[in-house]
Amino acid sequence: MTDTAQRYNRVARALHWIIAALIIGNLAGGLLHDALEDVINLMPLHKASGMTVLALSLVRIAWRVTWRAPAHPKGMSGLEVLAAKATHLLFYGLMLAMPVTGWIMSSAGKYPLSWFGLFDLPKLPVTRDSALYNIGHEGHELLGWLFLALVVLHVGAALRHHFLLKDNVLRRMA
Ligand code: HEM
Ligand code: HEM
C-alpha cells in the first residue's frame, strides 16, 4: 500500500471495530461487575473477551507494521498530529497491557481461565502473595481508568473531525 491510500484497509477496519467493541464492553463490564454481581457473574465473559482482545491486538499490530496508514488531513497542526499519534500508540500499549495485567491477576485465582466455555487457557505462575500479583491488580485498575479517559478523548476527536472539521478522518475508518 502506498502513501496515497485514502482509507484504512478492510482488515484494519474490521480489527479496529471488533477490538473497540470488545474493549468498550470490557470497560463497562469491569466497572459494573461488582454492582451487578447479584444479577449476573460477568467475570467469565470479561476474561474471555479480554483474552480475545490480546490475541486480536497482536494480529492488528503485526498488520499495522506492514502497512502505512493514510496521511493525516492537510489542515491538521503539528500538535494535533502529535496528539493523534501519541493516543494511538498508547492505545496499542493498553490493548496489550490491560489483558496481560488481567491475566496475571486471574492466574492467582482459583477459577479456570475458560475461553467462552470452549477450552481452558493456560495460567501464568503467579500467587496471591507475590509482587507480580499486586502489580497486575493495581495496574489493571489504574490502566482501566486511563483507557476510559483516552477512549472519551479519541471518540471526541473522531466526532470533531466528522462534524466540525468535516474532513474524511471518520469515513476512512468506517
Ligand atoms: C481489553 C481488556 C480488558 C479491559 C478493558 C478490562 C477492564 C477492566 C476494568 C475497567 C476493571 C475494573 C477495575 C476495578 O475497578 O478494579 C476490570 C476488573 C477486572 N478484570 Fe479486566 N479488563 C480487561 C481484560 C481482562 C482479562 C484478560 C482478565 C483476566 C484474564 C481480566 C480480569 C479482571 C478481573 C478479575 C477484574 C476484577 C478485579 C477486582 O474486582 O478486584 N480483565 N477489568
Ligand atoms: C476502545 C475503543 C477504541 C480503541 C482502542 C481504538 C483504537 C484506535 C487506534 C489504535 C487507532 C489508530 C489506527 C492506526 O493508525 O494504527 C484508531 C483510529 C481511529 N479510530 Fe479508534 N478506537 C476505539 C474506538 C473508536 C470509536 C468509538 C470511534 C468512532 C467514534 C473511533 C474512530 C477512529 C478513527 C476515525 C480512526 C482513524 C484516525 C486517523 O486516521 O488518524 N475509534 N483507533
**Using H for helix, E for strand and C for coil, what is the string for the chain?**
CCCCCCCCCHHHHHHHHHHHHHHHHHHHHHHHCCCCCCCCCCHHHHHHHHHHHHHHHHHHHHHHHCCCCCCCCCCCCHHHHHHHHHHHHHHHHHHHHHHHHHHHHHHCCCCCEEECCCEEECCCCCCCCCHHHHHHHHHHHHHHHHHHHHHHHHHHHHHHHHHHHCCCCCHHHC
Tens of pLDDT, residues 27-62? 999 999 999 999 999 999 999 999 999 999 999 999
- Domain that residue 47 falls in: 10-173
Q: Is 1 within the bounds of a domain?
A: no
Q: Is 62 within the bounds of a domain?
A: yes
Q: Which ligand is nearest to the CA of 158?
A: 2
Tens of pLDDT, residues 70-106? 999 999 999 999 999 999 999 999 999 999 999 999 9
Q: Is 150 within the bounds of a domain?
A: yes
Q: What is the CATH number of the domain that holds 146?
A: 1.20.950
Ligand 2 site residues, Cβ closer than 6 angstroms: 16, 20, 23-24, 64, 69, 84, 88, 91-92, 151, 154-155, 158, 169-170, 172-173
Which of 16, 26, 53 most suits a substitution to test ligand 1, by most atoms within 8 Å of the C-beta?
26
